[in-house]
Amino acid sequence: MRTFFILLLPLACPADTVTMKDGTFLKGRIEKIVDGTMEFRAPSLGAANVLKLDLSQVESFVTDEAVRVSAGGVVSDGLASASGGRVVTRGGLETNALDHGVELWREPSQRPSEAVEKREWVTQADADLSGRSGVVSGSGYSTGFSAKGVTKADTVIGGIRLMRAEAQDRISADDLHATLSYETNPTRIVFWYVRTDTGFDNARQIDFFSVNAGGLGFRLFTDAKGKLDARAGLAHRFELFADSSQPNRSAPSGDFGLVLNRELGWAAWDSSVNFVPSFQTTGDYYIRHESSLNILRNSGPLSLRVGVANDFRSKPLPTQAKTDTAYFLRTTYVWK
């Protein structure tokens, strides 16, 4: 009998349920609905447990506790459910279309569209061990820090990463990247962005480099588990070499990229690639790529990433390889 009640205990815990049009079933808590976006808290996802779901992709939902619902007029208070494109409250006495105009919130304060919005920040620090091959092979480490601030209108991401490796008493990596990006949140599909990547790379004998870019982004795919974004814009690329006999590079360039984030249940997959071709010199371009799996996650802030990063230069210095590759095992700490 005791075992029977233990098995029923999880079923008694309050939880909202959401079903997406692709068949994905979510259990957790609907925090709010505003401007066509549902904020859903899923404890099973650990530290990054707030999903922002496009309301047009929601098939149905049911709340387990009383909420407030409005489409700009009367505010209904009580349990809410949605199906067939309608939101039902007060036991079916009030209905609203499940579209961009409906709002849902919990606390008896101002509705989300009237509240002064604050930027929500998530910060991350990490350290890793890595093996490298390319310019010079070896093993080493890197450390990094990043911060991401989100509002319903835009996203700001800043970060810094220091990498160092040695092989047979030679430095195979000694570089620093400081990055900053700003992008508007997609209105349907299109958004715009600006970004900068600045630092140095002593292994490649680059005392200073900088890429500054801006353009349009396109949300190619999104659902409850992730997204795929493409970017296309213009950039300026500058490189100052330690060897004074090498002319500095300064050229207008293109900026093209892909960013993939995908929740796999047992892990989260993150991948990005940037392609920066020079408009001044034919065949002069570089590609930066990083892919990683976030594994060993739990409800706490610690997780483990395993991944690979590549830096490809089509016209490196005469004595250097074109591709520099790093394989890393990274411990990450996330807090809000």
pLDDT at 193: 97
- 205 torsion bin: left (phi>0), alpha (psi -120 to 50), beta (else): left
Q: Residue 151: left (phi > 0), alpha (psi -120 to 50), or beta?
A: beta
Q: What is the structure's pLDDT at 13?
A: 53
Query: In this structure, what DSSP letter does residue 169 have?
Result: T
With a CB cutoff of 8 Å and minimum separation 6, the contacts of 1 are none
Q: Is 106 helix (H, G, I), strand (E, B) or coil?
A: coil
How far apart, in whole angstroms, are the C-alpha atoms of residue 289 and residue 283?
19
Q: What is the pLDDT of residue 7?
A: 41
Angle at 113 between CA 157 and CA 194, to 5 degrees: 25
Domains and CATH numbers, the chain: 10-105 (no CATH), 120-335 (2.40.128.130)
296 — alpha (psi -120 to 50), left (phi > 0) or beta? left
Predicted TM-score (pTM) of the model is: 0.67
Neighbours of 195 (CB within 10 A): 21
pLDDT of residue 114: 64
304 DSSP β-pair partners = 295, 331
Query: Tell me, what's the pLDDT at 8?
Result: 41
- Which pLDDT does position 10 carry in this prediction? 43
Instruction: Write the CB contacts of 52 (distance below 8 Å, at least 6 apart in sequence).
Output: 37, 38, 39, 40
What pLDDT score was predicted for residue 9?
40
Residues of the chain with pLDDT under 50: 1-12, 47
Among residues 125, 165, 147, 158, the alpha carbon closest in space to that of 309 is found at: 165
**pLDDT given for residue 234 in this prediction:** 98
Cα torsion for 314, 276, 157, 146, to the nearest 10°?
Answer: 0
Of 103, 46, 100, which is closest to residue 80 (Cα–Cα)? 103
